[in-house]
Amino acid sequence: MLKKIIKTSPLPAVIIIRLMVGAVFLSEGIQKFIFADKLGAGRFEKIGLPEPDFLGYFVGTFEIACGLLVLLGFLTRLAAIPLLSIMLVALTATKVKLVAEDGFWSMLHDSRTDWSMLLGSIFLLIMGGGKWSIDRILWKKQKNDDA
């Protein structure tokens, strides 16, 4: 099972997506704690999510932890799963209403980062951490141990 999680693409360009996704989630998670009224619990309360105080810290913690894992390229595929869930909830909870109020094109404009993070997370789920990742080091070690 661990082999499937850490197996990764040898492509060096994966690091570009990994750095983008990891940095954005790490930053957003930290901001949910620093600016809780605006970006954490306060935001979740405003959009009508249940238990906003709990959710603000819960989501922020996952964004920080998974963002760091993605930046390091450690258990990248595993870290991408909660990030996918976060983005699907974000798009559903905020952008569906936006389509009804302001139209399709406005929704696309306001959700460009959400779509980028969703697609970047899917990419990492498929590709893994890439050539310059802890996953790659572990994969090579696992292959050598099996030989």
| Structure confidence by residue, pLDDT tens digits, 62-119 | 999 999 999 999 999 999 999 999 999 999 988 888 888 888 898 888 889 999 999 9
Question: Residue 147: its pLDDT value, please?
Answer: 60
pTM, two decimals, is 0.91
Is a pLDDT exceeding 80 seen at residue 145? no
Burial readout 70-95 (b: 16 or more C-beta within 10 A, e: otherwise): bbbbbbbbebbebbbebbeebbeebb
Cα distances (angstroms) measured from residue 134 to each of 4, 5, 8, 23, 46: 14, 12, 10, 17, 39
Question: Residue 136: its pLDDT value, please?
Answer: 94
Contacts of 126 (CB under 8 A, 6+ apart): none
Q: Give the domain ranges of the chain.
A: 13-146
